[in-house]
Every structure is written in C-alpha cells, then in structure tokens.
Amino acid sequence: MTQQQAAAILEQIERILAREFRLYQHLLALTKQERQALIVGALEDLSVAVRQKEDALEQLNTLEADRVTALSAWSRAHGGDATLLALLNDVDDETAARFSRLREGILAIASQLRDFGLANRALAQIALDRLEATRSYLLTLATPAPVYGPQPIPAPRLTLSVEVSA
C-alpha cells in the first residue's frame, strides 16, 4: 500500500468518525426532545422525535458499516485486527490523538444516550401505567355493580285497542 492510499484510508476513517460523532450528538438532542415530549404528554412531538431517531439510527448503521470496511482495508494492508484500537497503534501520535478524541467523544455521548434512553423508557412506562389506571377507574364507574336480590321483572306491555262502531 502506498503512502497516498494509506493517507486516503486514514482520512476516510477520520471523516466517518467525525460524522458518527455529529450523528451521536444529534441523537442525544433528539432523545432530550423525546424526554420533553414524554414529560408534557405531547404525543405528536414524541412521534416526530421517534421517527427522526429511527432515521438517525439507520444512518448510524450505514456509517458503522463504512467504518468497518475502511478499518478492514487498513488491517489488510498493515496486518492486525480491523479495530480502531489496533489502528491507533499503527499510526503517528497526532493521528492517534485525533482518532482517540473522536472515539472518546462518541463513547461519552453513547453513555449519555443509554442513560437518557433508560430514563425515557421509565417515563413512557409511567405514562402507560397511568393510562391503564385511568381506564380501569373509568370502567368501574361505567359498569354497574352487581346487585343481589330479586331481578327486576319487565313491565307488561300495554296495548291500546280502539273499537270503532258504526
């Protein structure tokens, strides 16, 4: 592998990591919007945030596949594992520091995302439990209590007959 090819692969990996970092930041912002929507009960806002998160996660999957492909190309040329940690040992200190900062930033945001996700899940469960309790209460109000004793007898049907004489 030539110096130019190696530099191109490293540049591609750095671009992918930077895009992943920005995408993780976007996911964190969407997760915070999701939390606000859960707190105030804004279902439309919640639906929009969830759809946007799904789109961002698809993009993240694509970026991850691109990163794995680029790291595989690097490992084929230099030997070793196709991981970012293995790559950090093969590059100069400045490049390793940049990649390491991006990696640490991604991991920090991913940790925050996990925490917010768990909290949002708890908020959603509380809202569902509250809805179920309200539904059950309303059903008790609408359903008559069973009564012991004689059952009501339906009233006889009255008929009206008219005789006409000529």
- Both tokens of 79, joined, read 């030997």
> What is the distance between the alpha carbons of residues 89 and 87, in angstroms, rounded to a whole number?
5
Nearest to 91 by CA among 5, 20, 7: 7
For residue 85, the model assigns a pLDDT of 84
For residue 76, the model assigns a pLDDT of 86
Q: Which CATH number fits domain 3-142: 3.30.530, 1.20.58, 3.30.70, 1.10.287?
A: 1.20.58
pLDDT (average), residues 55-73: 94
Nearest to 31 by CA among 11, 54, 63: 54
For residue 143, the model assigns a pLDDT of 76
For residue 157, the model assigns a pLDDT of 73
Tens-digit pLDDT profile for residues 65-115: 999 999 998 888 877 787 888 888 888 899 999 999 999 999 999 999 999
**Alpha-carbon dihedral of residues 124, 125, 127, 130, nearest 10 degrees?**
180
| Predicted model pTM | 0.76
Check: CB of residue 28 under 8 Å from CB of residue 115: no
**Other Cβ atoms within 10 Å of 10 Cβ, number:** 19
Tens-digit pLDDT profile for residues 15-52: 999 999 999 999 999 999 999 999 998 989 999 999 99
pLDDT of 156 over the 90 cut: no
